[in-house]
Amino acid sequence: MTDQQLCDTIRSSVPAAPSAETELRRRHGPRVSAFARTAAGGDHLSARRAADRAIEQFLGMLAATTDDPDRPPRLSLLTLVSASASPAPSVTSAPPAGVPLDPALRSFVRKGFTALPPRTQAVLWHSVVEREPDDHVATITGDRPDSLPDLAHRGLAACRDAFLRVHLEARPSPHCPAYARMLDAAADRADVRGNPDLTRHVDGCPGCAAALRGLVALCDTPGPSLAASLLGPAGPLYLSAATHTDTSTGTGTDTDAEDMPPLPVTTAAGGRPKPAGRVPLGVAAALITTTALAAVVPAAWGPEPPAAAQGQPPRAHVEAGGAGSPAPSRSRARPSASASASPHRSPGASPSATGPSPSDGPTAGDGPAPGPTPTTEVATADPVRPFRASAYGPAVNSATGLCLDVRGGTFANGVDVITARCRAGAPIQQWRLDDKGLLRNAANPGYCMDARGSARDGVGIWSCSAFGRAEGNNLVFSTDATGRIKPRIAPGHAVTSGSGEPGAPVVFGRTGPAAEQRWNEPGGPTPSSR
């Protein structure tokens, strides 16, 4: 069972709740104890008490609300320990090189991270910060192990994007938004850092100078930077302790952890209030698998292409950041309607690559646009996966079965994007999201989808050369786990089919579950209907 399913089970008053509590303790207790010892400077008694209190507090909070947790269980537990612990002198020493020291900067990193969907947070925390094995992280999140390096890569891009948005919302100066894209690119490109315009701006703007330091830290040392921002001074030190704790078996190599007696399991009968009413999603699965809670089987679904197949950086290089796409939002059950986490192009625009923007995004192996081909209509009733545009391909609307197209086949600034009957291999219906978040058309890759500056003005195309200028954000999009296409300028909106009639322009609508906002891509050659 995933962590989400365990939490759902604990929040319900079902017979499986005590077993779910036991599994949650087994899964996270050793790491929580390790962090408590680090925060207490090695005082085992204080650490044990702090760990016990944190677990009881967390279970109590789960039982007292019907709302989903806003962060992963492990991180919630560690945060509770951090809040209650009195830092030992050894913990207040300087953090590792590259980790931001400025409290305000850490606050921005923390706000950016917590703005991500909980499931994306979980992928980042377990894969990037604690660097746990993929098969163990898959158990926690419900993703396929081979999809996790890609999700982590995209999640980092989403985190950097969220951090940059927090900085810009603080409005250090009226001119800062115009430098957002350059700041993001400068995080991992020395040539951009040397740009004269950016240099002048950063020299005169302490806020953007700090933001650039934060972006560089999230690229170069994402694990320690996130740990320090979310857990305080003990965070980076905890990472070294965490490497000695084997959470996949629920035991630690530390003798103190091994000698600790099992923590008591408090049930509803024991006094912890259980909310009445709603039975959360996942409870049915908990009832079926109660007797096998310890033998968790990773879900067999997740972002389709494994990271290696998509040309994403291998796991060893995830720490270096890169332009991935934002991470997909959390899904709790097998996905047809809800899709995977983290990332297909995700939450908002990813500065560095809104384009991988949510599991999603750019892949290094993108091939050339398909050449001219027949214009036979194709059957699109059964697309097999959400649109992620990692390579040129059609975007098929879930509600209408029509494909994204360009009005009249004309490429000029301001021409409408429409929906039309799908034609097998037609380049004008092929789109690819590059590592900058630009949604390019295969018939003329020099033109990109354009948000026109407002969610009220519909969707068009515009020369991609505008990217990098003040209006360039209009060209930046991301995709999420359900196949929605979101503009950076209005992340709460998504590209929506205007009507079921071929030739109708597409519009922006507020994000929601409507099929008109979900776009799919065929999993392979699509058979011709006639």
Q: Looking at residue 254, what is its pLDDT?
A: 39
Query: Which residue shows structure tokens 């026109």?
Result: 452
Residue 66 pLDDT grade (very low, low, confident, very high; cuts 50, 70, 90): confident
Task: Check: CB of residue 419 under 8 Å from CB of residue 504.
Answer: yes
pLDDT of residue 172: 67
Mean pLDDT along residues 464-470:
87
User: What confidence tier does 237 reach under pLDDT thresholds 50, 70, 90?
Assistant: confident
Q: Are 75 and 123 in contact (CB under 8 A)?
A: no
Query: pLDDT tens digit string along 82-102?
Result: 877 655 545 444 455 555 557
Asked if residue 299 has pLDDT above 70, the reply is no
The tens digit of pLDDT for each residue in 206-227 reads: 888 888 888 888 888 888 889 8
3-class state of residue 405 by DSSP: strand
385-436: per-residue pLDDT in tens?
899 898 999 999 998 999 999 998 889 888 999 999 999 889 999 999 998 9
Q: What are phi and psi of 55, to 5 degrees?
A: -65, -45
Rounded-to-integer distance, Cα 284 and Cα 220, Å: 43
Please tell me the predicted confidence (pLDDT) of residue 381. 42
Percent residues over pLDDT 70 in the chain: 67
Write down the pLDDT at residue 434.
92
Highest mean pLDDT of the ranges 174-188, 315-329, 385-399: 385-399
- DSSP string covering 322-361: -S--PPPPP--S--TTT--SS-BS-SS--TTTTTT--B--
270 pLDDT exceeds 70?
A: no
487-508 per-position pLDDT tens digit: 999 888 999 998 888 999 999 9
CB of 211 closer than 8 Å to CB of 103: no
Which has the closest alpha carbon to 387: 349, 361, 409? 361
Going from the C-alpha of 396 to that of each of 387, 431, 475, 519, the distances in angstroms are: 8, 11, 20, 5
CATH number of 369-530: 2.80.10.50
Q: What is the pLDDT of residue 321?
A: 33
Q: How many CB atoms lie within 10 A of CB 170?
A: 14
Q: Which residue has the tokens 């039975």?
A: 279
What is the CA 138 to chain-centroid distance, rounded? 15
Q: Is the pLDDT of residue 372 over 70?
A: no
pLDDT number for residue 457: 84
pLDDT for the residue 240: 64
- Cα Rg for the chain, rounded, in angstroms? 24
Rounded to whole angstroms, how far apart are CA atoms 62 and 57?
9
Asked whether 520 and 386 are in contact (CB, 8 A), the reply is yes
- How do the domains of the chain map onto residue ranges? 3-259, 369-530
CA distances to 117, 157, 437, 491 from 348, rounded to whole Å, are 11, 10, 11, 5
Q: Are 8 and 289 in contact (CB under 8 A)?
A: no
Q: Which two tokens stand for residue 268?
A: 């509803």
Q: What local confidence, expressed as pLDDT, does residue 384 receive?
A: 57
**27's tokens:** 């899964």
C-alpha neighbours within 13 Å on the C-beta side of residue 21: 26
